[in-house]
Amino acid sequence: MTEFTPFLSLAGGALIGLAAVLLMALHGRIAGMTGILASVIPPLSPDWGWRAAFLAGAIVAPVLLGGLFGDVVGFVSPAPVPWLIAGGLIVGVGVYFGSGCTSGHGVCGIARLSPRSIAATAVFMASTAATVFVIRHVLGGL
């Protein structure tokens, strides 16, 4: 279990919101990480430059902040690596058929009051709750 970090979580959420607002205000684009990532993998989109810079910032900023403040929340998963890979593939399929990821729908779509994004986020959250319930209470907390 990860320790409770309300101030880091609040700061992280504020930075994600700020990045989404700035991207929309300055480029007229939605900060959906999957769509941004897909456009920097060949074949490259014509506007791949800002997309690569956005992704680099999403990777470098937490590393810099961790170095400055020395407060990094580690990640350890008890799940076997093949399960993590399978989970990633399942999420990828969901992103494809859901026409977007949690950042695009949950952060940006809900802020724009998009009915499709509100429905997609409700499905994400319900699926997450069901998955946690099954893993912890039906399968015995693998």
Q: Are residues 60 and 90 in the same domain?
A: no
Q: Are residues 62 and 102 in the same domain?
A: no
Structure confidence at residue 38 (pLDDT): 85
Q: Can you give the pLDDT of all 142 residues of the chain as single tens digits?
A: 567 788 878 988 898 899 899 999 998 888 888 888 888 888 888 989 999 999 999 889 888 878 887 766 677 888 889 988 998 888 888 888 888 888 888 888 898 899 999 999 999 899 889 988 998 899 876 6
Structure confidence at residue 141 (pLDDT): 66
Residue 38 vs residues 13, 44, 46, 60, 92: alpha-carbon distances, Å? 23, 8, 12, 19, 11
H or E element, residue 99: none
Rounded Cα distance between 101 and 83, Å, is: 20
Q: Are residues 68 and 83 in the same domain?
A: no
Rounded Cα distance between 104 and 82, Å, is: 27
In the chain, how many domains are there?
2
Q: Are residues 72 and 141 in the same domain?
A: no
